């Protein structure tokens, strides 16, 4: 079957979606729960309905656009997310949803009749948002987040998460009944977000493992005092402790572990007061689970020692501990074959960003297809990918969905799929 994707349709959709949530200070700001997120959701459903797909929202607010199958089999899904970081770009997440829609619409136009339902999915709140919950939709779908624990979650304005979900057609009370059992396989197409493909001159890449992410919230508590009259030996300066902690943190990085302190607050934050308290989040990432755990442990020990020496207290709370996740070897092999078929050089990378696929991979055979990011820029307005690379990605995805639809039962007998 020759199913030919339409680059012009891809371009139009990327452009239209990229205009939703334009931030006057630059880029796109479209977090979950915002008016722009709502508008993007409505736009996606209108496009999917125009393409002849059946649109539904689950209890987690995840959007599904389904092309029903002929044999009542489990669903094969592809997609990503529509929400963005503050002042983000137009490709992270959005490109994956649009590519999946293009791939399925193309198969439909070519007259293909799927055995399995083929679905485009847009997951709720993949990025951090005012509710403090990333990968919200995929974690609720896979049972990693429980509704009871989210009952009292609000954004800084006091709006409850339950209310925000209701506004997009979800229902927090029944989110615990969600199950991913109806899924046979999931493929997430996504821009690479780093410069490895660009440097290698390759349009597409495959993912074998998604990075582990560990985040500790750290509070140094010292003593507030006068900036002039407090003698050096009497000071218990929380900011100086933080300064030393930052250097100690950096010294622990490297050799497969990267880290970031991207958020910090000083109290009381006044010119002539010795700071009493510093709160910050230290994040480490690695695809090596043991190495990540060792560094986290070492980091905490160093914090304890330096706090003791400086006469301040330190309090560490883990806020995220996501293990590295290997993707499914059969889906990977199938994607390798599709790249070879299209005469695209095959390269396999690890993903240094977290994705919805991390959570799906625990329960559903999952694969990821990366599209080259120009200059490796992401989570910024300059994020960019070439239309021809995106079109190639949609083509490979359409090919892969077709083969999965025909062969998933055979694969399931041969392997663990």
Binding site for Zn ion (CB under 5 A): 92-93
| CB 189 within 8 Å of CB 330 | no
At 102, list the tokens. Answer: 């293009």
The reply to whether 215 sits in an annotated binding site is yes
Residue 386 burial (C-beta neighbours within 10 Å; 0-12, 13-18, 19+): middle
| Closer by beta carbon to Zn ion, 125 or else 170 | 125
Rounded to a whole number of angstroms, the minimum distance from the CB of residue 288 to Zn ion is 22
Residue 253 burial (C-beta neighbours within 10 Å; 0-12, 13-18, 19+): middle
| Closer by beta carbon to Zn ion, 260 or else 317 | 260
Rounded to a whole number of angstroms, the minimum distance from the CB of residue 351 to Zn ion is 10
| CB 133 within 8 Å of CB 123 | no
Is residue 122 classed as helix, strand or coil in its secondary structure? strand
| Closer by beta carbon to Zn ion, 79 or else 114 | 79
Rounded to a whole number of angstroms, the minimum distance from the CB of residue 83 to Zn ion is 9
Angle among Cα 294, 146, 327 to the nearest 5 degrees reads 50
The reply to whether 290 sits in an annotated binding site is no
At 150, list the tokens. Answer: 């989210």
Rounded to a whole number of angstroms, the minimum distance from the CB of residue 138 to Zn ion is 11
**Residue 237: other Cβ atoms inside 10 A:** 22
The reply to whether 372 sits in an annotated binding site is no
In the complex, which residue's CB is closest to Zn ion? 93
The reply to whether 410 sits in an annotated binding site is no
Distance CA 171, CA 82 (A): 19
Q: In the beta sheet, which residues pair with residue 65?
A: 55, 120
| Closer by beta carbon to Zn ion, 222 or else 367 | 367
At 405, list the tokens. Answer: 């639809």
| Closer by beta carbon to Zn ion, 79 or else 170 | 79
Q: Which helix (H) or strand (E) holds 325?
A: strand 325-326
The reply to whether 379 sits in an annotated binding site is yes
Rounded to a whole number of angstroms, the minimum distance from the CB of residue 402 to Zn ion is 25
Name the CA radius of gyration of the chain, rounded: 23
Rounded to a whole number of angstroms, the minimum distance from the CB of residue 355 to Zn ion is 6
**Residue 398: other Cβ atoms inside 10 A:** 27
The reply to whether 105 sits in an annotated binding site is no
The reply to whether 127 sits in an annotated binding site is yes
| Closer by beta carbon to Zn ion, 192 or else 330 | 192
The reply to whether 279 sits in an annotated binding site is no
* Residues in the chain, overall count: 417
| Closer by beta carbon to Zn ion, 184 or else 197 | 197
| CB 61 within 8 Å of CB 163 | no
Rounded to a whole number of angstroms, the minimum distance from the CB of residue 32 to Zn ion is 12
Rounded to a whole number of angstroms, the minimum distance from the CB of residue 219 to Zn ion is 30
| Closer by beta carbon to Zn ion, 276 or else 322 | 322
Q: Which helix (H) or strand (E) holds 13?
A: helix 7-18
Q: Which helix (H) or strand (E) holds 410?
A: helix 387-414
Q: How many separate helices (H) and strands (E) can be counted in the chain? A: 11, 15
Residue positions forming the annotated binding site: 81, 92, 127, 190, 215, 272, 285, 379
Residue positions forming the annotated binding site for allantoate: 215, 272, 285
């Amino acid at each position: 079957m020759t199913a030919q994707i339409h680059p012009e349709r891809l371009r139009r959709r990327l452009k239209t979606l990229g205009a939703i949530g334009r931030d006057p200070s630059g880029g796109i700001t479209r977090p979950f729960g915002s008016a722009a997120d709502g508008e993007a959701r409505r736009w996606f459903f209108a496009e999917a309905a125009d393409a002849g797909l059946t649109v539904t929202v689950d209890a987690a607010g995840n959007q599904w656009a389904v092309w029903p199958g002929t044999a009542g089999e489990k669903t094969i899904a592809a997609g990503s997310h529509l929400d963005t970081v503050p002042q983000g770009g137009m490709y992270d997440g959005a490109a994956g949803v649009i590519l999946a829609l293009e791939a399925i619409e193309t198969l439909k136009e070519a007259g293909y009749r799927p055995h399995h339902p083929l679905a485009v999915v847009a997951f709720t709140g993949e990025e951090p948002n005012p509710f403090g919950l990333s990968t919200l939709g995929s974690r609720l779908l896979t049972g990693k987040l429980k509704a009871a624990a989210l009952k009292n979650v609000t954004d800084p304005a006091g709006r409850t998460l339950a209310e925000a979900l209701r506004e997009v057609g979800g229902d927090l009370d029944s989110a615990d009944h969600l199950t991913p059992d109806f899924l046979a396989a999931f493929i997430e197409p996504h821009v690479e977000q780093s410069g490895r493909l660009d440097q290698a001159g390759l349009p597409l890449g495959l993912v074998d493992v998604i990075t582990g992410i560990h985040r500790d919230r750290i509070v140094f508590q010292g003593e507030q005092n006068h900036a002039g009259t407090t003698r050096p030996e009497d000071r218990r300066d929380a900011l100086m402790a933080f300064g030393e902690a930052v250097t100690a943190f950096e010294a622990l990085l490297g050799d497969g572990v990267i880290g970031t302190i991207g958020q910090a607050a000083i109290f009381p934050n006044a010119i002539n007061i010795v700071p009493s308290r510093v709160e910050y989040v230290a994040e480490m990432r690695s695809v090596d689970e043991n190495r990540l755990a060792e560094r986290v442990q070492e980091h905490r020990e160093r914090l304890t020692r330096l706090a003791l020496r400086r006469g301040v207290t330190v309090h560490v709370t883990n806020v995220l501990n996501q293990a590295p996740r290997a993707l499914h070897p059969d889906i990977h092999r199938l994607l390798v074959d599709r790249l070879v078929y299209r005469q695209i050089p095959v390269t396999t990378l690890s993903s240094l960003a977290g994705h919805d696929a991390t959570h799906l991979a625990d329960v559903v055979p999952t694969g990821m297809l990366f599209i080259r990011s120009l200059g490796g820029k992401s989570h910024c307005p300059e994020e960019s990918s070439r239309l021809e690379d995106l079109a190639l990605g949609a083509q490979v995805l359409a090919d892969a969905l077709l083969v999965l639809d025909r062969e998933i039962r055979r694969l399931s007998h041969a392997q663990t799929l």
